[in-house]
Chains A and B, each alone.
Chain A
Amino acid sequence: MIKRIIKFISSWTYLIISLLLLYSSYAYFLSHEKPYEAWLSFLFHNPAGVILYAGLIMNLTCINIRIISSRIRRNEKTCADNIKDMDSYLVIPSPKDASPERACDWLKNKGFSPVISTNSIEAVKGRYSFLPGAVLRLGLTIFLASLLLSAHLRQAEDAVFKEGGKKMISGREALLSSVKAPELSEFLLIEGEDSFRLKDVYAELIVSGNKHTADSGFPVRIDDNYYRITHLGFSQMIDLKTEMIQFKKELELDVLPPPKKDAVDTGQNIVLTFELQPENIIKKGLLEAKKFNLINPTYYLTVSKSADENNIPEESLELLIKPLDKKKSGNYEIELGEKALFIKIQSVRDPALLWIYAGAFLSVSGLLFMLSRFFWYEKRISIIVRNEEAHIGYSEEFYKKWGVYKFNLWKDDIDGLFSESSINKG
């Protein structure tokens, strides 16, 4: 009973059933607002989903073990009864004193590696051709298992840092000593195009007294946590004075890419809306392009009173202002400090992260390696001599019809190794 269960769990049928069940579970969640997220939640957090998911991982593992063990076992033992089950099968009379060396030389000429045992020769080409599939299955197993672990063990935290700022993140104090975004100098916005891209953003972090460089690419490991830059914007000190109120604060302005607006509620019935203003406008034919200076930007600032009881906002003031500028208009006095950059850093604690990377790498490698299976596959010749007869069988893993033709073409050579022939096809 247990053997049957193990055989079923390590079968391709179980894999197909698992995949169909996975699809069915996804189809069930299609009516949800976010079907993929709901499905993931089912797979990783619902007992039925976890069983289904774990079953798939177990199935991949068992298939791998089954295939590797069957290929290795076959390599060690030549089974006389198996010769009749091979794709092509030939029986020819063999003299009593027939020597296996001639057959071995012929097999070596054909690229096989013959292994001689008592009364039998086993020759295999493509002995290790199971490796690409094994690597792929192993990679998928590791990847899927680590995704499940990560879903339960990952702890993530985000923190916003200004240049020179200190903050606690993941229980450690971190100081952002500098931020570099090499391409953040100027930007040309061409009508109708969305082309603002920054290749890299770097940050020097001092954590637990040690200097580290985090960037927007792969996460950097600092102690047990992984750090990565996930956002960038302008940090701007503003000093706003009216007769009634004073507002002085360092604001994090999410105004990238232009012409994005960011509204800041001062909490005193005044809303400040910032937008980057182009330095100049370039015309080429009918097309218009706006050039933005991102080192010393100009802000289009709107100061408006919050909506009143009737929900009618009152526009108070619109002006253009640069960092370190001071402007006065009506009741308002506005001064901007120096512009700096702020970044958002994500800190993740995930013991399974390295395994996710390993699994992804093995899976991709295995997938590419699988391309070799079009021409790298097992070809096996088995020869057993008994009762003055040589039983010769030939099998190919794929393209069996061509293997049969090939063996028929070798008939004359094989007849020459032994004396007479009669052909039976397996």
Chain B
Amino acid sequence: MQQIFLIAFREAAQCVLLLSLLLLFPPIINNNKYYGSLTAGAAAAVIAGFLIGFNLFMSSSMPSNETWAFWRHVSEAAIFYSGLALLIVRPKVSSTLIYSGLFTIGFFLIFFESREVGFLTLDSAELSDNSAGIIISAIAGFFAGAALLLPVIRFIRKIARNIISILPGFLMLVGAWKFISGGTGELEKTGFFMALQTGIMNFLDRAVGHLQSALLITRHSFINAPFEGLAVFLSGDRMAMTLAFIFFIIPPVFMLLYLFARPDPIASEINTRAYNRLSAAFFRKSLAYEAAPALAAFIMLLVMMHMVNLSANPLYEPVPMPVKEIEGRQAVKLPLSDSLGHFTDKKLRKYVYYYGHKQIFFIAILKPDGSVGVALDECEICRPADWNKDAQGYAQRGENLICKYCVTPIPVASVNSPGGCNPIPLPFTMDDENIIIAVSDLIRLYNEVRALEKKGSHF
């Protein structure tokens, strides 16, 4: 019950945030009819979305969550690009159309999240003995989150008087925020950016193939076709990521260029210097207010895309496997084939040897030339603090090891070579099935590194 309360509260609070962004546009907050249309749309979305998600009508032909997610993405893109469309077209519309437009925006801001909360409520209710309690928790959570709207509106009414801005900027900001926070994390694991990138990549792959077929230069599994490299590049994930990036970045960039490209006001006709300065100051202030939402949207989208890019290319860092001395020998043995696979899979392997109360971390990996690289899991240069565990050692990304402290990529081929950001090489020998490291070498190197740390200099 607590979980569904928190989910409903969280989604309601997000909805309040989205509505507040739009309410910052003075004509909306200061005009009761506009404000009423927007909030009426939001309220209708809450009720309709929750009931549909809860499947109150017991319909068996409800679209799947994936289909709902697709249409949510479409609505988010529509809100985002509507800002740009309004900026370019500048339609002259009647009041009725404005009310309907605001109602529609308010509705689609909230509808899909409300549906997902309804769906999660239904899901929790079916798994619980206390269905009524679950439903009441969800509704209570939602009202608790929505109650935040009242103090927010009071605050906005105070500050909105001083804001000079344009609606397109706020629509763009709301759309950008929806891209980042849209949907519930419980139902959807991938965001809009990844979904868009995947969709573009699938489309490009088929489209490029079709184009090659039309030009009679079809791809083959082992015979080179003309312009094959170009076709592979155009249908690759880099191109898809670039196009997805362009999709997000063009509207705020265009809006900022449009705002800043407007000519400055002509002040030479104004004889009084004070009025001259006032005119220029007013122009700059209005420019700042108008550009602020688009700039905020731009920064938010940049951060979002960077985070998505990082999560799509995660560092591979295995859990260190504890190793012990071989019986009767002062050496540790690393099998070439273990529960994680064989060394020829070219994945990084980490190990830990317990030396009294201390832990000695070291790594092993297959190099491109087929030989094995073995080294301590630290480098000569980077010395992160003891408490900063996340920055210690190496992780793997593709053909490189990445120093987690300085994020330098180190080619796997250079493991076993000392110096620079390379991991400190560890002497080892091999038999048919194992890598063998003398414990004395392990401890000696570890102690040397610790001694160097105290001195404050490097090898």
Give residues in A with beta carbon < 8 Å to B: 26-27, 30-31, 35-37, 40, 147, 150, 191-192, 196-201, 216-219, 226, 228-232, 256-257, 283-287, 346, 348, 353, 356-357, 360, 399-401, 404, 423, 425
Contacts and interface: CB of A to CB of B under 8 A. Distances in A.
Contacts of B225: 216-217
Interface in B337-391: 343-344, 346, 366-367, 369-372
Among all A-B residue pairs, the 8 with the closest Cβ atoms = A285-B370, A287-B370, A36-B206, A284-B370, A285-B371, A219-B216, A216-B223, A196-B222
A287 B344 contact: yes
22 contacts: A30-B199, A35-B202, A36-B203, A147-B214, A150-B214, A191-B344, A197-B222, A197-B224, A198-B223, A216-B225, A218-B216, A218-B226, A219-B216, A230-B218, A231-B223, A283-B370, A284-B369, A287-B370, A346-B216, A348-B216, A400-B263, A401-B263
A141 B261 CA distance: 33
B203 A401 contact: no
Interface string B196-238: 0001001100110011001111101111111000000000000
Contact of A26 (B203, B222, B264, B366): B203
Given A218-B217, A356-B215, A423 B268 contact: yes
B70 A30 contact: yes
B6 interface: no
Contacts of B217: 217-219
B315 interface: no
Contact of B261 (A30, A198, A346, A400): A400
A353 B262 CA distance: 48
Contacts of A400: 261, 263
From A36, A147, A229, A231, residue with most partner B Cβ within 10 Å: A36
A216 B220 contact: yes
Given A218-B216, A356-B215, A357-B215, A285 B268 contact: no
Contacts of A200: 224
B222 A198 contact: yes
B370 A257 contact: no
A53 B262 CA distance: 37
A257 to B, nearest CB: 5
Contact of B224 (A35, A192, A199, A401): A199
A284 B268 CA distance: 81
From A191, A217, A404, A425, residue with most partner B Cβ within 10 Å: A217
B451 to A, nearest CB: 34
A257 B223 contact: no
B222 A425 contact: no
B336 interface: yes
A256 B223 CA distance: 10
Contacts of B343: 286
B266 interface: yes
Given A286-B336, A286-B343, 13 more contacts: A26-B203, A36-B210, A150-B214, A191-B344, A197-B224, A199-B224, A217-B217, A229-B223, A284-B369, A285-B370, A285-B371, A360-B211, A400-B263
B372 to A, nearest CB: 7
Contacts of A192: 344, 346
Nearest to A217: B226
Interface of B: 67, 70, 74, 199, 202-203, 206-207, 210-211, 214-218, 220-226, 261-264, 266, 268, 336, 343-344, 346, 366-367, 369-372
Nearest to A24: B74
A201 B223 contact: yes
Nearest to A154: B214
Contacts of A286: 336, 343-344, 366, 370-372
Majority secondary structure, A binding face: mixed
Nearest to A228: B216
Nearest to A31: B67
B224 A198 contact: yes
A257 B216 contact: no
Nearest to A195: B222
A134 to B, nearest CB: 23
From B203, B215, B216, residue with most partner A Cβ within 10 Å: B216
Contact of A353 (B216, B223, B264): B216
A25 B344 CA distance: 47
Contacts of B268: 423
A90 to B, nearest CB: 12
Contacts of B214: 147, 150, 356
B224 A216 contact: yes
A217 B215 CA distance: 11
B85 to A, nearest CB: 9
A19 B344 CA distance: 49
A257 B224 contact: no
Contacts of A217: 217, 225-226
Contacts of A346: 216
A27 B268 CA distance: 55
A183 to B, nearest CB: 10
A348 B213 CA distance: 11
A199 B313 CA distance: 32
Contacts of B370: 283-287
Nearest to B336: A286
A62 B301 CA distance: 37
Contact of B215 (A31, A201, A360): A360
Contact of A256 (B199, B215, B222, B371): B222
Contacts of B218: 230
A360 B227 CA distance: 13
Given A191-B344, A216-B225, A229-B223, A425 B216 contact: no
Contacts of A423: 266, 268
A169 to B, nearest CB: 15
A196 B221 CA distance: 9
A333 B221 CA distance: 35
B207 A36 contact: yes
A196 to B, nearest CB: 5
B261 A399 contact: yes
A401 B268 CA distance: 17
A257 B67 CA distance: 41
Contacts of B222: 196-198, 256-257
From B210, B218, B220, B222, residue with most partner A Cβ within 10 Å: B222
A37 B344 contact: no
B262 A401 contact: yes
Contacts of A425: 263, 266
From A30, A232, A287, residue with most partner B Cβ within 10 Å: A287
Nearest to A398: B261
A239 B212 CA distance: 41
A198 B223 CA distance: 5
Given A198-B223, A218-B217, A228-B216, A37 B263 contact: no
A40 B223 contact: no
B369 A230 contact: no
A400 to B, nearest CB: 7
Contacts of B266: 423, 425
Contacts of B367: 285
A84 B215 CA distance: 51
A357 B214 CA distance: 9
A286 B223 CA distance: 30
B70 to A, nearest CB: 7
B61 to A, nearest CB: 14
Contacts of A284: 369-370
Contacts of B366: 285-287
